[in-house]
Amino acid sequence: MAAINREDVAHLAQLAHIEMSDDELDRMANELAVIVDAVKSVSEAAGDDVPATSHPIPLTNVMREDVVGHVLTAEEALSGAPDAQDGRFKVPAILEES
């Protein structure tokens, strides 16, 4: 795996909508590089014959029946919203004027 550089961190920060200062970008680039190195050691232990897993516990097919359960009222759903109107969440204009 290629090392993580400052540009990668800036790109990821932009994708994740996280505002980072120059100092923070420098620091995170260094820290993430160390973390990536540490994670890399896993691939030394696991050979090609070990499939990748997404979960530590060998559990599959955790499913529920199609039965209606817990529902919130609109008031409850909107109770944490910064702004609401007509029973709906109100959000700022999505597109800038062009």
Partner 1 sequence: MSVDTILSFEEAMEKYDPVLGFEVHVELNTKTKMFSSAPNEFGDAPNTNVNEVCLGLPGVLPVVNKKAVESSILIGLALNCKIAEHCTFARKQYFYPDTPKNFQTSQYEDPICYDGWLDIELEDGTIFRVEIERAHMEEDAGKLTHMGGATGRIQGADFSLVDYNRSGVPLVEIVTKPIEGAGSRAPELAKAYVAAVREIVKNLGVSDAKMERGNVRCDANVSLRPYGQEKFGTRTETKNVNSLRAVENAVKFEIQRHGAVLDSGVKIIQETRHWHEDTKSTTSGRPKSDADDYRYFPEPDLVPIVTTSEWVEELRSRLPEPPAARRKRLQADWGYTDLEFRDVVNAALLDEIEETVTAGASAAAARKWWMGEIARRAKLADVDPAALGVSPAVVVEIEKLIASGAINDKLARKVLDGVLEGEGTPSEIVAKRGLAVVSDDAPLQKAIDEALAAQPDVAAKIRAGKIQAVGAIVGGVMKATRGQADAGRVRELILATLGVEG
Q: Is 32 exposed, middle or buried (0-12, 13-18, 19+ CB in 10 A)?
A: middle
d(Cα 6, Cα 28) in Å, to the nearest integer?
8
User: Contact with partner 1 (CB under 8 A): which of 11, 34, 37, 43?
Assistant: 11
Does position 97 interact with partner 1 (CB under 8 A)? The reply is: yes
Q: Which is nearer to partner 1, 23 or 76 (CB)?
A: 76
Of residues 21 through 80, those in contact with partner 1 by CB under 8 A are: 54-55, 57, 59-74, 77-78, 80
With a CB cutoff of 8 Å and minimum separation 6, the contacts of 88 are 78
User: Contact with partner 1 (CB under 8 A): which of 1, 2, 17, 41?
Assistant: 17
Hey, how many other C-beta atoms are within 10 angstroms of the C-beta on 86?
6
Binding site for partner 1 (CB under 8 A): 11, 14-17, 54-55, 57, 59-74, 77-78, 80, 85-95, 97-98
